[in-house]
Structure formats: C-alpha cells, structure tokens
Structure 1
C-alpha cells in the first residue's frame, strides 16, 4: 500500500528521527481444491529457479501483503491477526485486471488472469494493539466467480493454508523465504531456524530440525 502508517505525533515527537522505510512480507494462500483438476504450467515468479504451485487446481488463490516498520520485530514476537484487525468498511470486490495491487509481479498477475480468476476481493487490515500501528496489510482473494469470494470467511483460514511466504527489507534484500513445495529451501537470514509464532509458516516449535 502506498499510504503511510498513521502516527499520533505530539510536539515532543518533533525531535525524534523519522521512521524507517517499510519492510514487506508477502504470504501466498490457497484453498478449496477444484473437483476436476485442470492442466497448468509452472511459472517463474520472484526467482528464476522457484517453482510455484499450480493455482488453477484451487477454487481461490490469495496473497497477503504486509507492510511494517520492523519485520525483524515481528519475527521475534510473532505475526498475529484476527477479524478484529479488518477495516470492513474499506473492503470491496472488483475486476482482477483493474483492481490487483501494484506489488503483484506481472508474471503472477498474468497467471491469475489466465487461470480464470477474474474476480478479486480486497480486505484492508492494520495492527490495533499499538500506536502507531506496527503493520498494515492488504489481502487479495482471487476466484472465477464472485459467489466463491463471498463464501470465503477469513476466520476459517489458517497458516496451514499458506503455500509460500517471503520477507524483504525496504531496500529489497530478501531475508525470509518459505515454500511448501520445497521446505528444504526455506531460510531465515536473521534468526536461522528460530521458531516463529502466528502467520510465519516456518519454522514452528513442534517441527523437527
């Protein structure tokens, strides 16, 4: 999102340094397998050697895009959200081609459209426990019909639905990568294999090293 994180600045805050540029976290989510799998091709997204799951096998596909001032802090403390974080009045459903947000790569956007996912539902969230908020998020769900999108309930989605995730610093340095299709390639450049809570899909405390 291009908007700035709101701040309740007072006169005493004027001498404080400016907040850091935003770090980013992208989480890919899938759910609801189609009754009849359709053929599809692998795409090259983010990295030339990275294989994405076949999104056309699913009824819907989503990307959760977080912007935060300190992604490392979210690694230590966990990334948590509930429906209480959703700004319901800001949500809408629209044409995928016209409403997909800019942070999608052209390859991914084209794959979404080629898969017949012509409808997109948008949710906007933010941290409500801290001021200023530590993070803001834009959730985008794609499907072939608006009926599928209106049947999705955020409270029914869990970290188990995540198929990939990556985190980058404000200067585009990759610091975290996870792919369900290739868990051996996962890494955390900051905390290695330290277990992380919430919507970090890897590593978890109950996983064997």
Structure 2
C-alpha cells in the first residue's frame, strides 16, 4: 500500500504532465509549410503566348452611370477563348484564384489606346496618362479562357484601387463578341438596350459579366450616357 504523500505527489505530477502535453488532435511535430515560391515578374507572358484569338471585349467604367469624361478609370477586358457559346452557357466570372498576379504591370498610356467615343489619342493620354494591365486565366487543367484587363486612369491612386475580382456586370457599358473576325454574334450597349442582339441564344439569361439579359430579379435599367458608339470595331485577331 502506497503512502498518502506518495499518491498525492504522483497525482500532481500526472496533472502537470497532462496540462503541458498537446491535445490528442494536435501533432507536436507539425511542420510549417513554406508559401509557394513566386515566379519572376513576366508582364503578360501567358496571354501573349496564347495563339487563341480575342473573341470578347467588355468596355468597363469605374462609374457606369456617368459619362466617360467623368471616369477616374475605364478600360477594356479582352477575352481569348475558342468557344464563346460555352462561356455564354456557363457564365463568365472570376476570383482571386484566376489572377496571374506576377504578369500585371503599369505603363504610360500608349498613343494607340482605343478612344471609344471618337476622342483623339491626345485627349486620352492627357486625361488618363497611365494604364494598368491585369491578366487572368481559367483554372481548369485545360483553360477555356484567358483575359487581359487594361485600364486607363487619371492617376496612380485610381489605378491602385482597381480589383478585377470585384467587377460585376454593372460596370460593363458595352460588350461585343465575335465567332470570327467579321462575324459578330453578341452586341450590347447600355444606353441602347433596345438594340441588343445575341445571335446564338437570343434572350437566354446570361450569368457573370455578361451584361444582358440577366436572370429575373438581376436586371438594371440602361444608363443615359453621352458617349455614342463605345466599341464597335472587330478584334485585332
């Protein structure tokens, strides 16, 4: 029979050991994983290397209810894909996982930057002197689309606040899609919704960035803007 003082001492040691040991669901030898090593900066490498053609162009305003002259930034989202109807069926949307962060960059607004409302290149470069470029990619093993968002801004602060993943169809003032260079299959201009045409799916509601038509309860009245034709020329390729 053990003395009481010995039993008390053993009991205290057991309680001390149990309080200091990790819970059974914790691994005391758990290793911390290092973050994935970032690749070097390589502006637009993935998009430029793709042989796919630009089939969709979204014209995007920071404040779509205002005319272009009052925008702090505006730009174009160009999408390369081999199957526009599939993107219509599935909807086009993206999140942080789609960002090719190491491929983005900023530069002076080039003289060739498209002026959608007939403004001269001098007008564009004077009011929006810098352009920020973002690149995105479908996360599937075989990507169904690549995207290039180029935004012209009044200053660096305006461009620094752009978050592509926060863009919605409300920011889109025009969208044009082509089956081939001279075969337009989708055209929507916000201030002329009555002229909308979808040659593939007519009035089928479209999800994601597609501006029109939207599912019931997700509609928005066309904004009255001063700009005439925003972007009606076919893609470069």
TM score, norm. by length of structure 1: 0.72
1:78 and 2:91 correspond = yes
Q: 1:27 to 1:206 in 2, by over 3 A?
A: same
Seen in structure 2, the aligned counterparts of structure 1 residues 119 and 156 have a Cα distance that, compared at 3 Å, is same
Q: d(CA) in 2 for partners of 1:109 and 1:125?
A: 29
Q: 1:30 corresponds to which residue?
A: 61
- Deviation digits for residues 78-128 of structure 1 (CA, Å, limit 9, x no counterpart): 11211211100111111011795xxx4795772762561110000011101
Match of 2:131 in 1: 120
Give the SS at the match of 1:193: coil
Does residue 69 (structure 1) correspond to residue 82 (structure 2)? The answer is: yes
Q: Say which of 137, 143, 160 aligns to 1:133.
A: 143
Superposed, 1:92-171 pairs within 5 Å as 92-97=105-110, 100=113, 104=114, 110=121, 113=124, 116-128=127-139, 130-171=140-181
| Match status 1:91 vs 2:122 | no
1:195 positional shift: 0.7
Q: Which moved more, 1:59-68 or 1:22-31?
A: 22-31
Flag as ranges the 4+ runs of structure 1 deviating above 4 A: 104-109
Number of the residue aligned with 1:36: none
Q: What SS does structure 1 have at the residue aligned with 2:102?
A: helix
Could you say which structure has the higher strand fraction? 1
Q: Residues 175 and 141 from structure 1, CA distance in 2 versus in 1: closer, same or farther, beyond 3 angstroms?
A: same
User: 1:190 and 1:73, CA in 2 relative to 1: closer, same or farther beyond 3 A?
Assistant: same
Q: Quote the Cα distance in structure 1 between the aligned partners of 2:90 and 2:158.
A: 34
Q: Evaluate the alpha carbon distance shift between residue 105 and residue 147 of structure 1 in structure 2; reply closer, same or farther with a 3 A threshold.
A: closer
1:169 aligned counterpart, secondary structure? strand
Please tell me whether the aligned partners of residues 24 and 168 of structure 1 are also in contact (alpha carbons under 8 angstroms). yes
1:174 to 184, 205, 210: 184
Whether the 8 Å contact between 1:61 and 1:142 is mirrored in structure 2 is yes
Paired residue total: 171
Q: Which has the larger radius of gyration?
A: 2
**RMSD, aligned α-carbons:** 2.7
Q: Equivalents in 1 of 2:96, 2:119: separation in Å?
A: 27
CA deviation map 1:38-90 (0-9, x unaligned)? xxxxxxxxxxxxxxx84111111021000101001111111121121110011
Gap runs ≥5 in structure 2: 1-46, 220-237
In 2: Cα distance, 1:187 partner to 1:65 partner: 19
Q: Compared with structure 1, are the counterparts of its residues 98 and 72 closer, same or farther at alpha carbon in structure 2 (3 Å cutoff)?
A: same
Q: C-alpha separation between the residues in 1 aligned to 2:167 and 2:208?
A: 12
